[in-house]
A and B are shown apart, each in its own frame.
Chain A
Amino acid sequence: MDLDPLLLSRLQFAFVVSFHAIFPVFTIGLASYIAVLHGLFYKTENPAWDRLALFWTKVFAVVFGMGVVSGIVMSFQFGTNWSNFSYATANFLGPVLSYEVVTAFFLEAAFLGVLLFGRNKVPEGVHLFAAIMVAIGTFISSFWILSANSWMQTPAGFEMIDGRFHIVSWTEAIFNPSFWYRFTHMALASFLTGGFVVAGVSAWFLLRKRDVEANKKALSMCLWLLLILTPAQAVVGDFHGLNTLEHQPTKVAAMEGNWETSGNVPLLLFAIPDKDSQSNLFEIGIPNLASIVLTHHADGEVPGISAVPVDEQPPVAIVFWSFRIMVGLGFLMIGVALAGLFLRRKGRVFESPLYLKVLVGMIASPFVAVLAGWIVTEAGRAPWLVYGVMSHAQGLTPSLTGGMALFTLIGYIGVYSVVFLIGAYYLSRVVRNGMLEEPVEVEGEVERPKRPLSAAHTPFDDDTDNSIEGAKA
């Protein structure tokens, strides 16, 4: 069988970007949380906030470092595998992606160092300011990157000259029709990620009766936050979907698993979509509900996948199931947040081992939901790279062979697996070390500016480490 460079490149892009995306969604949420902790400490002077801030800053440092490492690879992906696409869209994507990098540098150069290393060296007010700026910076970064992605989904503000995109209106292009929906949905997703991780880790500490006071505070705060944010995400997601219905009807058709354009469409709970027969082999659904959700009328018309030729149809099963995973997890999150409220009224949130264990388990849920969401978005627009204008096949690097693509695909998987395992292992050590007092600073220790990971002092392997024993005792 011939190796298909197109398929391999798509797999590779999906792999590296998914890998990268895990870290920013977490750091964006966590940065805001750290800023809030600093704010609380600044206002109340309660040392519990300071200890929490210090602990989560260490975690932030490690995750941020991994985000940067994987991000550098991303900025070369467009050129190596999608050179025709890069060349054609450079007038827009070039500046926009550069602005994301430029923002990141500005942020790192100016404020990250102060946040990570300035604890005892600058006044608390300045430290707080740096924390806020880092949080804002992560949002500016995602602003640019999501603008780039949204423009590819719903291109606007350009004209074509000789096969290249030329921007006639920067505002229309940057704030393209799907941008605000995606940005809001993604911002909430980041907060949810931060929230569920912090809640889960606090619950883990509470189960082990470590640092009970501080962790109760953290957990309680998170649960209030999640109570508001989880339903908000569902509402925003609904609007996002309605907007997609307007601009990318085929994608919505695939999310609903609906083949023929018609009214009275059921909301499918389970189905096996089959492209060959252009129908579902099997389905269970709630009558009329999809029509009601999408059009607010029981007989409202929902677009069908078969309305476009087969070679312009996205991979229906992938879109259909990823969408269900995301939405399912969304409702599960709402349920967990509500359960927290219920237990709180009975005064048992912090004592119920079952609930605490559920929270620990939920740590993975936002990450899975985020990846599933991106797969809906990205696979749902296939075969288009720039929706309706340029297909994957047109964007591919012409000189790319299947062998080259396979080589780097395996290579990236190998490199990232090693990096990821090391990072995850190290992160687990940082977390298990918990909120120990900082080691006294060694005389003459050179605290380097900038390098994020060095903000975590946890040793890497056991024979340099005695703090874990200390923690257990």
Chain B
Amino acid sequence: MITFDLAIIWAGIIGFGIIMYVLMDGFDLGLGILYPFAPDEESRDVMMNSVAPVWDGNETWLVLGGAGLLGAFPLVYSVFLPALYIGVFLMLAGLIFRGISFEFRFKSKKNRHWWNRAFCWGSAIATFAQGAVVGAYIQGFAVEDFVYVGGPLDWLSPFTVLTGLGMMAGYSLLGATWLILKSEGHVQQWAYRIAPKLLLAVLAVFAIVSLWTPLVSMEVRERWLNQLHLIWIFPILALVCAGMLFRAIKRQSEGLPFVMALGLFIFTYLGLIASKWPVIVPPNYTIWDASSAPESQLFLLIGVLFVIPIVLAYTAWSYWVFRGKVKVGEGYH
């Protein structure tokens, strides 16, 4: 009984951590991807300044998720990481370079173009890797007797390349709508111009993935077509968000596009969970198979329940301090 409860609680915590990570690190990674396309160096300053105070906090959710998985669902940890071996390395390398370019770009002039490059490539590679992880998760893993037995590049298939590119489009969309919220003048106008194009790209990938998924995963097909009709609510809500997003951009509203982009991500995410639940290591293992011992889950839960509210409060506070527009030529140096 207690096992049952704890596994669900932990699934909730990890699920929450992941979506927090995707939403928050998503928009700053997205800005990194858009970086080379920005109209001028001035707008690059604005783009970076609009995320510099918060990106580091955004990334904490990734580390918390990684550590939490080892503590609560070790099977996930010990299957995903070997299966995604090369991808994990690329993601970490990307995140490292992106991280240090935040620090040093503003401190240098002569070498600034190097930091620009590190920022853009770091963001793009990390995002692609994350998207491919999602694709790999939909595909499922070759696991025998709780051990990954597949090859080093199983995670890289046409399907996962598509989800990787989709993630790049999605994060860019989050980034562009964030920029609409945080900037003004010609930077904002540029963001207004690219956002609809990005949205179209996202929707295209969305459509292809939706048609393709039932082909790569039998279980998912079953669930969508025969088992659970309520599940259709998620894609419908996602599409509603997309529609509202279009309109909001047309009317040049400032806050709504970002909110709708968040909604688009959240409903897609919920749809994904609903099509897999309670399987956590597809195709075969549920959250209960993947759990650590109940006493271990409980031991860790105490600390995490204590810290999460503090991290949330701190996050909220730093966004609050940093509210309002970022102006050209302003910011730290």
From B67, B85, B322, contact of A97 by CB (8 A):
B67
Contact of A98 among B68, B102, B111, B146 (CB under 8 A): B68
A467 on interface, CB distance cutoff 8 Å: no
Closest to A414 in B: B93
Structural contact, B318 and A76, CB atoms closer than 8 A? no
**A454 neighbours in B (Cβ, 8 Å):** 103, 332
**Which one of B131-139, B231-239, B302-310 is at the A interface?**
B302-310
Inter-chain contacts of A377 with B (CB < 8 A): none
Q: Cβ of A407: which chain B residues have Cβ within 8 Å of it?
A: 86, 89
List, in ascending order, chain A residues with CB within 8 A of B152's CB.
399, 401, 403-404
Mask: chain A, 400-422; 1 = CB below 8 Å from B; 0 = not: 11011001100110010001001
Which B residues between 21 and 79 are near A, CB-CB below 8 angstroms?
49, 52-54, 56-57, 60, 62-64, 66-68, 70-72, 74-75, 77-79
Question: Does A436 have its Cβ within 8 Å of any Cβ on chain B?
Answer: no
Do residues B148 and A445 form an inter-chain contact, with CB atoms below 8 A?
no
Q: Please, how many angstroms separate the alpha-carbon atoms of A80 and B86 in the complex?
A: 9
CA distance A94 to B14 in the complex (A): 14
Q: Are A458 and B310 in contact (CB under 8 A)?
A: no
Q: Which among A76, A109, A442, A464 is the interface contact of B311 at CB below 8 angstroms?
A: A109
Tell me if B100 and A69 are in contact (CB < 8 A): yes
Interface residues on A, range: 35 or more
Contact of B100 among A97, A101, A419 (CB under 8 A): A419
B189 on the A face (CB < 8 A): no
Cβ of A361 under 8 Å from chain B: no
Q: Pick the interface stretch among A45-53, A82-90, A277-285, A341-349.
A: A82-90
A102: Cβ under 8 A from any B Cβ: yes
Contact of A94 among B146, B296, B321 (CB under 8 A): B296
| Residue pair A464, B292 in contact (C-beta under 8 Å) | no
Tell whether, in the assembled complex, residue A79 and residue B332 are in contact, meaning their CB atoms are under 8 Å apart. no
| Size of the chain B interface, CB-CB below 8 angstroms | 71
Bound form: Cα–Cα A80–B152 in Å:
11
* A446 to B325 Cα, complex, angstroms: 12
Q: Is the CB of A90 within 8 A of B100?
A: no
Residue A450 lies at the interface, judged by CB distance under 8 Å to chain B: yes
- Say yes or no: B63 contacts A446, CB within 8 Å: no
Residues of A within 8 A of B110 (CB): 461-464
In angstroms, Cα B57 to Cα A408, docked, is 27
Chain B residues with CB below 8 A from A108, complex form: 60
B-side residues, CB < 8 A to A, are 49, 52-54, 56-57, 60, 62-64, 66-68, 70-72, 74-75, 77-83, 85-86, 88-89, 92-93, 95-97, 99-100, 102-104, 107-111, 146-152, 292-293, 295-296, 299-300, 303-304, 307, 310-311, 314, 317-318, 321-322, 330-333
7 extra A-B contacts, CB within 8 A, seeds A87-B77, A94-B300, A399-B151: A75-B70, A90-B296, A397-B148, A398-B147, A403-B152, A407-B89, A415-B97
What residues make up the interface of A, taking CB atoms closer than 8 Å to B? 65, 69, 72-73, 75-76, 78-80, 83-84, 86-87, 90-95, 97-99, 101-102, 105-106, 108-110, 166-167, 170, 397-401, 403-404, 407-408, 411-412, 415, 419, 422, 426, 442, 444-451, 453-454, 458-464
Q: List 14 A-B contacts (CB under 8 A).
A: A75-B67, A78-B70, A83-B81, A83-B82, A90-B74, A90-B77, A91-B296, A94-B74, A98-B70, A101-B63, A109-B314, A459-B107, A461-B111, A463-B110
